[in-house]
Amino acid sequence: MIPRLAITTGEPAGIGPEIALALGDKAAEAQYVLIGDRRLIERNLRESGRPDWKVAEYDPAVRNAQEPHVLTVLDIEAPEKVEHGVLNKNNGKYVTEILRRAGEGALKGEFDAIVTCPVQKGIICDAGIPFTGHTEFFRDLAGVREVVMMLATDGLRVPLVTTHVPIRELADTITSDLIKRVVRILNSSLIEYFDAPVPRIFVCSLNPHAGENGHLGHEEIDTIIPALEDLRKEGIDLAGPLPADTVFQPKYMEQADSILAMYHDQGLPVLKYRGFGHAVNITLGLPFIRTSVDHGTALDLAGTFRADTGSLFYAVKTALEMVQAKKKFESRS
């Protein structure tokens, strides 16, 4: 059976509904189901010079491989007309309904994976809907305690212990218990979804020079090292804590299945420098596969149909690879 991917089209005024059209450029051994406003998708097809393309209504009972110039659409109507590049809080709930439909479908096995186009967090909040991001939305929908954000590109995977935490609060947020929960999710995910039977995980320190034996901070001695020692007793292969300016070198990256960063701006600048436009955001710890583009809504490009589709194709490619790796893992179990 061919895999079926839910493609959430994201903020309707941004580039998400435009870059998603590119999935119909050629055939694929998978079914792509675009979730969003059919009227908007059809308008974008006309405006982008694809007036002859076919839009097919999604039928859960039918799995058809992607054909050229055909888009399968699960229609969720935006309450107000969309203007390229212009945010409208009255369409905020529409965006979360797209995500909810995709997540509920994935939970019941209707979709093998979800690939998300970018959303605009602020306008959803302006609509009166508390929203901090895709990661937290799907975590709450799935009813799991902990998820892990990991960005990846060719030759480098960077998961995070913390995500959107102010620098001033980092040392208090990073606890031994949090590190252990994150590493356990990471380790099991690398085994199940990335064909790494015994993952090798390198761990960044928090302080410069890994704290210099307590002279530049005690978080390594008091928090990180004890957590890693406990995890090693569980059979998890860990190296570190290592200074971030040391571990992000080829000789270390080549040995690692992933490099765990303590905070957002410790690991992601390196990854985005290496692979921007060909990188993917992955949520680990969910009961389904979720990948995402590594960029935002690019409101200034909306309606020009010039936005780069590289990250979307990389997110789709990664999702399909994870689907296959999961099948391989389950066949061995």
Read off the pLDDT of residues 99-119 as tens digits, 9 standing for 90 and up: 999 999 999 999 999 999 999
146-278, what's its fold?
Isopropylmalate Dehydrogenase (3.40.718)
pLDDT at 120: 96
Q: Where in the chain is the domain with CATH 3.40.718.10?
A: 1-144+286-333, 146-278
Residue matched to tokens 């039928």: 59
pLDDT at 16: 97
How far apart CA 67 and CA 36 sit, in angstroms, is: 19
What's the CATH number for 1-144+286-333?
Answer: 3.40.718.10
How far apart CA 227 and CA 161 sit, in angstroms, is: 12
- Over pLDDT 70: what percentage of the chain? 100
Q: Is the pLDDT of residue 287 over 80?
A: yes
Of the candidates 276, 10, 29, the one whose C-alpha atom is nearest the C-alpha of residue 20 is 10
How far apart CA 66 and CA 86 sit, in angstroms, is: 31
The count of other CB atoms within 10 Å of the CB of residue 331 is 7
Alpha helix (H) ranges present in 27-175?
Answer: 38-47, 92-107, 121-126, 134-142, 170-173
Q: Considering the chain, what is the average pLDDT of its residues?
A: 95
Of the candidates 322, 332, 235, the one whose C-alpha atom is nearest the C-alpha of residue 284 is 322
How far apart CA 2 and CA 45 sit, in angstroms, is: 26
Residues 179-191, mean pLDDT to the nearest whole number: 98
Q: Confidence band (pLDDT; 50, 70, 90) for 220?
A: very high
The H or E element that residue 323 is part of is helix 310-332
Q: Confidence band (pLDDT; 50, 70, 90) for 276?
A: confident
Q: Confidence band (pLDDT; 50, 70, 90) for 164?
A: confident
pLDDT at 118: 96
Write the DSSP string, 66-96.
B-TTEEEEEE---SS--BTTB--GGGHHHHH
Q: Confidence band (pLDDT; 50, 70, 90) for 277?
A: confident
Q: Confidence band (pLDDT; 50, 70, 90) for 13?
A: very high
Residues 82-101, mean pLDDT to the nearest whole number: 97
pLDDT at 245: 94
Residues 179-192, mean pLDDT to the nearest whole number: 98
Q: Is the pLDDT of residue 314 over 90?
A: yes
Residues 259-267, mean pLDDT to the nearest whole number: 97
How far apart CA 224 and CA 151 sit, in angstroms, is: 22
Q: Kindly report the CA angle at 283 between 318 and 265, in degrees rounded to 5?
A: 100
Q: Is the pLDDT of residue 333 over 80?
A: no
